Every structure is written in structure tokens, then in C-alpha cells.
């Protein structure tokens, strides 16, 4: 089981690489069999769907702003609360989100769940 510092560093790298627009570096943080459910209640993404999703996030100029420190746990999970801002075809949107992640022994993300609903989305023009 990875320690808290490894998990927190992975989530900080997630933020930093999304903000740099480096989709391959973000994807490298995930285990090959990882699953993403973002937002929770939508169909899970796996494999190439995850690759495509992060390339889409970069195309939308996603930028993450943490709103609290990254949190660890007594197990193999950590969480981060943030605002993600995107710009797609001139439409700026902000989503207030909380992501929980589980990790494998190598410190790679095996599962990401994004918690946000329609009330957590601000559209700005």
C-alpha cells in the first residue's frame, strides 16, 4: 500500500500536469486497468476512453484550482477538492468537484470518482 505522501504527490502531479496541458503525463499516473467514474452516476471510463477523456480535457483548456489541501487516508485512497475551469468554443464553465482516488502498490491511480452535480456547475460567458 502506498503511503500518504506518495498518494498526495500523485494528486499534485495530476493537478500540475492538467494545468500544463500534458495529457500523456496525466495518463501515466493511472494504472493500466484504471476506472474513472466522473461524475459519479455516469458510465465508467476505461482504457482508451480514459486516454481520450484527458486529451479532451486538455483541448478544453481544463485548469484545476484546489480549494483545500489534498487529503490522505489510513488506506490506499486520497481525495482532492477543486474547481475545474474549462473553455470550449468560447464558453467558460467552472465545476466545483471532489475527486476520490484509490491507488495500487506502485502509487498509480486505480480508481477515480468525481463528485459533482448540476448544482455544482457555473457557466460564464
Catalytically active residues are: 14, 38
Q: Are strands 63-66 and 77-88 parallel, antiparallel or unpaired?
A: antiparallel
Cα 78 to Cα 94: distance, rounded to the nearest angstrom? 23
Cα 108 from chain centre: 13
Amino acid at each position: 500500500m502506498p503511503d500518504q505522501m506518495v498518494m498526495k504527490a500523485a494528486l499534485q502531479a495530476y493537478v500540475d500536469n492538467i494545468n500544463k496541458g500534458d495529457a500523456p503525463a496525466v495518463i501515466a499516473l493511472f494504472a493500466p486497468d484504471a476506472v474513472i467514474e466522473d461524475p459519479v452516476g455516469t458510465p465508467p471510463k476505461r482504457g482508451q476512453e480514459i486516454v481520450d477523456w484527458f486529451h479532451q480535457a486538455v483541448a478544453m483548456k481544463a485548469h484545476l484550482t484546489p480549494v483545500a489541501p489534498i487529503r490522505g487516508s489510513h488506506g490506499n485512497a486520497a481525495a482532492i477538492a477543486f474547481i475545474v475551469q474549462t473553455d470550449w468554443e468560447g464558453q467558460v464553465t467552472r465545476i466545483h468537484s471532489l475527486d476520490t482516488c484509490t491507488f495500487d502498490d506502485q502509487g498509480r491511480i486505480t480508481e477515480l470518482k468525481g463528485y459533482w452535480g448540476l448544482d455544482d456547475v457555473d457557466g460564464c460567458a
